[in-house]
Amino acid sequence: MPNCLRFMIPSVLSVTFFANTLLPAMGQETPATPAPATPTAPAAPTATGPAADPLTGPIRKGDILSVQVYGEPQLSRELRVDADGTINMPLIGTLNVLGLSPREASSRVARALVRGRFLRNPQVSLAITGRAVYSVFISGAVANQGRQTIRERTRLNEVLEASGLTANADLRRVQLTRGANDIVVDYLTFRSGKSTDPAYNPRLQDDDKIFVYSQVTPEGTLQVQGEVKSPQTLTLTGGMTAAQAIQQAGGLTDISDKDNVIVRRAGAEIKVPIQEIQEGNASRDIALQDKDTIFVARLNRAEAVTVTGAVVAPDKYPLQSRMTLLDAIAAARGTADGAKQDRVVLRRTNAQGVVEDKVFNINSPQGASVALQAGDIIDVPRGKPSSFNLWNVINTATSVLYLLRR
């Protein structure tokens, strides 16, 4: 037998085997077998009720998911939900799972496998195995200011009461800053029992900023300038501090330099250790006086990290406070097709000038949370895209089956 025929026969047999096992009959789609049941999320708690188990609630950004496709170990893996609410599955590609229950998400994966004609009857099990940490920042007329870790479904009252409201707290004016939006909540209406409307006791979200106003007589004015979300002139009230004024101005921007925040007073400059204050050391805060100006400098572009390799937008990105390996990759709009997410290289020059490489798996909680430093280089290696050769085989198999049916 000629050598060419010896080569072709096994190839055709492989294609036929692949078509019979992975492709449904031509012109016929078989619905996916329902995924094994996952406990559904419990009902939302009341305003003062306990928080739900976070591993059974809806899928959130940053969650770690375990996806198991029975009988297909090459498709089973742990995935992290990207900042846009999607996961990247082999064969399927990008799939939006934000807000779904584990059972709904497993059904969506199964339908995508059937719709793409990859498997006839996939059985998919999906579970949330890890949660991103949620936190809020509270300041103003409370005894304990600073950043607090919260559970899923935490409401305003839980954080306010735990922070120790002061005697002069103005509960009719609790400012909730969420992104670019400022909401003033009349918390007194909820606390006095006049209404259980959620508008008076809203559910909190990650990185919310809460400011409690004081019931005092104005003592002057001050200005907040630079890299805050809403630069403005504020009314100075008794006991107001620099961190509180920054909070009232919407908080710091993403490109603010936390090491360069100052209070200008009568020709002098007083440094504000805002990083320490936000981490809970309120004793380092600066008490303000009439005509003070707070200035927040812009982050120097030299304070940056570089993301290269198999990411959507490789570039230099400003180093943010507490920036992690996963944050930097998210800033580069996530990994690209074929990225080796378990072999991400962190290249760092140590104090002696020696370049060191360390390898991390960004799908693990430990790898994703690695803290970055200025000058770090993150290199995401690119392997062979898992879907490239497979698609060629799919197309070839489809063509063969079509010709055989003619």
Task: Give pLDDT tens digits for 304-323.
Answer: 889 999 998 888 888 877 88
CB 152 within 8 A of CB 132: no
Bridge-partner residues for 260, per DSSP? Answer: none
CB 222 within 8 A of CB 233: yes
pLDDT tens digits, 242-254: 999 998 898 888 7
CB 140 within 8 A of CB 247: yes
pLDDT: is 122 or 45 the higher one? 122
pLDDT of residue 381: 92
Banded pLDDT at 397 (limits 50, 70, 90): low
pLDDT: is 384 or 203 the higher one? 203
Is 366's pLDDT higher than 90?
A: no
Q: Does CATH number 3.30.1950.10 belong to domain 31-130?
A: yes
pLDDT tens digits, 268-318: 999 999 988 888 888 899 999 999 999 999 877 567 889 999 998 888 888
Residue reference for tokens 């959130």: 60
Q: Does CATH number 3.10.560.10 belong to domain 133-215?
A: yes
CB 224 within 8 A of CB 294: yes
Residue 405 amino acid letter: R
Bridge-partner residues for 233, per DSSP? Answer: 223
| CA of residue 368 relative to chain centroid, distance | 11
Q: pTM of the predicted model, to two decimals?
A: 0.40
Report d(CA 16, CA 398) in Å as an integer: 10
Name the DSSP letter for residue 386.
Answer: T
pLDDT of residue 34: 41
Report d(CA 173, CA 237) in Å as an integer: 14
Banded pLDDT at 6 (limits 50, 70, 90): very low
Within 13 A of 39's CA, how many CA atoms are on the CB side?
10
Query: From residue 168, how far is each of 137, 172, 290 by CA, in Å?
Result: 20, 12, 20
Fold of the 304-380 domain = Outer membrane lipoprotein wza fold like (3.10.560)
Give the three-class secondary structure for 263: strand
Report d(CA 346, CA 355) in Å as an integer: 10
Domain locations in the chain? 31-130, 133-215, 218-299, 304-380
pLDDT tens digits, 171-195: 999 999 988 888 999 999 999 888 8
**First vs last C-alpha separation in the chain:** 28
Residue 144 amino acid letter: N
User: What are the respective helix, strand and coil percentages of the chain, to the nearest 5?
Assistant: 25, 35, 45
Nearest to 199 by CA among 217, 218, 183: 183
Top CATH class of 218-299 equals: alpha beta
Report d(CA 406, CA 403) in Å as an integer: 5
CB 378 within 8 A of CB 344: yes
- Percent of the chain at pLDDT > 70 equals 80
Is 161's pLDDT higher than 60?
A: yes
Nearest to 45 by CA among 129, 154, 163: 154
CB 170 within 8 A of CB 212: yes
Cβ burial, residue 367 (10 Å; 0-12/13-18/19+): buried
The answer to whether 31-130 and 133-215 have equal CATH topology is: no
